[in-house]
Each structure stands twice: as C-alpha cells, then as structure tokens.
C-alpha cells in the first residue's frame, strides 16, 4: 500500500502556508538551489496554478510541455514531466493554470489526496537519483495542498515577519493534524522559517520573539532578511544564488540549507562515503 516514509528515497518537503506572499515560492526556489550547491540533487514540484516557481526558473507557460496537472490528472509519469534547469542538479516539474480546476475535477476521485504521493513514488523516479523533493504549494488549504502534505515527510512553513503572522498558523496546523489522522500519520513539521525579516524593525523583532516563544525549536535559527535581490532574481529567471551569489538573500538560504541538511544528510553522495 502507501509507503509513507519511503524506503531510503528522497526527503520530501511541502512548503506551505495558506497566506499568499509570505515567501513560499522564494523559499522553494532558493532552498532548492542552495541544497544543490551543497551537492544535493533536488526536484522542485510547482503545485501552484500561478506557476511562479516555474517562471522564476525560466519556464514561461509556453515552454511548459508536461506539467503537474498532467502528473495528477493524466497519470503522466514524473520522469516525463520533470525538466532539467540551468542550475545543474536542479529539476523542475512545472505547473500550469489548468491546475486551478484540479479541485473540482477531482471531487469524485477516490484517490484524490494520494495523487501526488503516488506520482512521486512511481518506480522510475529512482532514476533521477534525488536527495530532496520540494513542493511549492498554492496559497490555500485546498486539495492541492493536502496532496502535498499526503505526499511529504514534513512541512516547511515560511512565516512572514509581519503583524498577524502567527494567526494563520493555527489553521495550517489543524490541516496538518487532519492529514496525520487520516492519510499520512508520519507527517512532521520540518520547521518554520521567518521571512522578510528586517532586524531593525521592532515589529520583526516582536514576531520573532512570539514565534520562538510559542513554537520553540520548530523555528529555524536562520531567518531570511528582506533583500531586494531576492525579489529581483525571478525576473532574471534565476535563483538568487546565481543572480547575486554574495547577496544577503543568498547567504540566508545557504544557511537554511545547512540547517535542513544537518537533519537529513545527503544519502546518495556524502553519507555513505563519510560514515
Ligand atoms: P508566496 O509564494 O508565499 O506567495 P513569494 O515567495 O512569491 O510568496 O513572495 C512574495 C513576494 O515577495 C515576491 O514578489 C517575492 O519576490 C518577494 N519576496 C519574498 N521573499 C522576500 C525577501 N526575503 N525579501 C524581499 N522580497 C521578498
Ligand atoms: Mg508562491
């Protein structure tokens, strides 16, 4: 049946928060790129009909042949939908606008929350030799986000350092709990990463304080600063790590990648050699 923990396959992370504009896509692209820089092979699955992750990596809607829509609704295998990017070691499964109708189309499908789960475990995915799969979720707690949570080992939550930041979290946690009760009992919370932090701003400091006192170790030590290079990079179709390698944004995502890697050492390349 459904092998939730996989058997030594890639570590699968859903990057989720039902609020829009909190840094999900920015985190998905740049955490993926930073993990690749550290030697990992990473697949980014764009599960947002808006397709910002796809565009941000240089795939405009007309460049996209097979998409996550085909993956979920037409049983196109991942090995056919995934494309290589200019960032060697980084693969992308692009999304398309028709993904926005997936919720409605899937209402009568019995396996509807397991579609992404099953697609990511299709046997030929092994040939990609992936260490990580990051799923960029849409800004909702829709069936698409539930698919991501059912498919994942853990959820990584970007939290924008702004007023009311923590309010939306309880709804997200409720959804995680529901998924645990049903389809994916092993689902963990990878961590919460504070984004668009302005260290000099009292509000940012307050949000950090509140997040750390409420969520404790779930909050990553690394915080992503507000950095204009991060917002410019997508229009150059690049992760910030290649657009401006020395920027504060690049440094922050490298630090976040190291925190993630410390929890999940690279299985295929380093771990076997160094143990
Ligand atoms: P989401 O995917 O959650 O909707 P995005 O990652 O698309 O959020 O970010 C929303 C907007 O904020 C985008 O224009 C993005 O470029 C910008 N942005 C994200 N993170 C930062 C940051 N740390 N500093 C500056 N701008 C950022
Ligand atoms: Mg997004």
Lowest mean pLDDT among 7-11, 57-61, 80-84, 244-248: 7-11
Residues spanned by the domain of 235 = 11-265
User: Which pLDDT does position 5 carry in this prediction?
Assistant: 42
CATH number reported for the structural domain that contains residue 113 in this entry: 3.40.50.300
With a cut of 60, say whether residue 271 has pLDDT above it. Answer: no
Asked if residue 124 is part of any domain, the answer here is: yes
Residue 89 counted as domain residue: yes
Residues 97-110, mean pLDDT to the nearest whole number: 87
Q: Rounded distance, CA 88 to CA 36, Å?
A: 8
Asked if residue 213 is part of any domain, the answer here is: yes
Q: C-alpha angle 212/218/221, rounded to 5°?
A: 65
Q: How far apart are CA 168 and CA 18, in angstroms?
A: 8
- For residue 270, give the DSSP letter: I
pLDDT tens-digit readout, 123-175 = 999 999 999 999 999 999 999 999 999 999 999 999 999 888 888 899 999 99
Residue 109, pLDDT > 90, answer no
| CB of 168 shorter than 6 A to ligand 1 | no
15, 19, 23: residue to mutate for ligand 1 pocket, most atoms within 8 A of CB: 23
Q: Note the pLDDT tens digit of each residue in 193-234.
A: 999 999 889 999 999 999 999 999 999 999 999 999 999 999
Question: Using a 6 Å cutoff on CB, does residue 235 contact ligand 1?
Answer: no
pLDDT for 4: 42
Q: Is the pLDDT of residue 7 over 70?
A: no
Distance CA 208, CA 44 (A): 28
Residue 164 has a pLDDT of 82
Average pLDDT score over residue span 100-127: 92
**Whether 131 contacts 41, CB under 8 Å:** yes
Confirm whether 236 is domain-assigned: yes
Ligand that comes closest to the CA of residue 51: 2
CA of 231 relative to ligand 1 center, distance in Å:
6
How many domains does the chain contain in total? 1
Alpha-carbon distance values, 12 to 5, 196, 217, 226, 275 (Å): 9, 24, 20, 27, 23
Q: Is the pLDDT of residue 8 over 80?
A: no
**Does residue 267 have a pLDDT over 80?**
no
CA of 90 to the centre of ligand 1 (A): 20
19 CA from centroid of ligand 2 (Å): 9
Distance (angstroms) between ligand 2 centre and the Cα of 44 equals: 12
Mean pLDDT, rounded, of the chain: 92
3-state SS, residue 90: strand
Average pLDDT (81-94) is 95
Give 22 Cα–ligand 1 centroid separation in angstroms: 6
Distance CA 261, CA 275 (A): 15
Instruction: Judge whether residue 275 has pLDDT over 60.
Output: no
Q: Residue 265: its pLDDT value, please?
A: 83
Q: Is the CB of 52 under 6 A from ligand 1?
A: yes
Tell me, yes or no, whether 6 lies in a domain: no
Residues near 22 by beta carbon (within 8 Å), at least 6 away in sequence? 158, 159, 160, 195, 196
Confirm or reject: Cβ of 247 under 6 Å from ligand 1.
no
Domain-embedded: residue 5 = no
pLDDT score of 270 more than 70: no
- Residue 1 forms part of a structural domain: no
Asked whether residue 182 is assigned to any structural domain, the reply reads yes
pLDDT at position 269 over 90: no
Residue 69 has pLDDT above 60, yes or no: yes
């Amino acid at each position: 049946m459904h092998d939730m923990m996989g058997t030594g396959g890639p570590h699968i992370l859903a990057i989720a928060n039902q609020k829009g504009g909190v840094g999900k896509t920015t985190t998905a692209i740049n955490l993926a790129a930073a993990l690749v820089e550290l030697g990992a092979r990473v697949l980014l699955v764009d599960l947002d009909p808006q397709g910002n992750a796809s565009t941000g990596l240089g795939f405009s809607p007309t460049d996209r042949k097979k998409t996550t829509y085909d993956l979920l609704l037409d049983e196109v295998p991942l090995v056919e939908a995934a494309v290589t990017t200019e960032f060697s070691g980084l693969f992308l499964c692009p999304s398309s606008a028709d993904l926005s109708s997936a919720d409605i189309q899937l209402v009568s499908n019995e396996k509807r929350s397991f579609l992404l789960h099953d697609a990511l475990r299709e046997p030929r995915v092994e040939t990609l030799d992936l260490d990580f799969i990051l799923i960029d979720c849409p800004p909702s707690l829709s069936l698409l986000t539930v698919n991501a949570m059912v498919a994942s080992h853990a959820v990584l939550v970007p939290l924008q350092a702004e007023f009311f930041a923590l309010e939306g979290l309880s709804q997200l946690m409720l959804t995680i709990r529901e998924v645990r009760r049903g389809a994916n009992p092993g689902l963990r919370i990878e961590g919460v990463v504070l984004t668009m932090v302005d260290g000099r701003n009292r509000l940012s400091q307050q949000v950090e304080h509140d997040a750390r006192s409420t969520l404790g170790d779930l909050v990553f030590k690394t915080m992503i600063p507000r950095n204009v290079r991060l917002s410019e990079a997508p229009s150059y179709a690049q992760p910030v790590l290649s657009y401006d390698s020395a920027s504060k944004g690049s440094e922050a995502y490298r630090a976040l990648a190291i925190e993630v890697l410390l929890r999940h050492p690279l299985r295929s390349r380093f771990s076997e050699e160094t143990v």
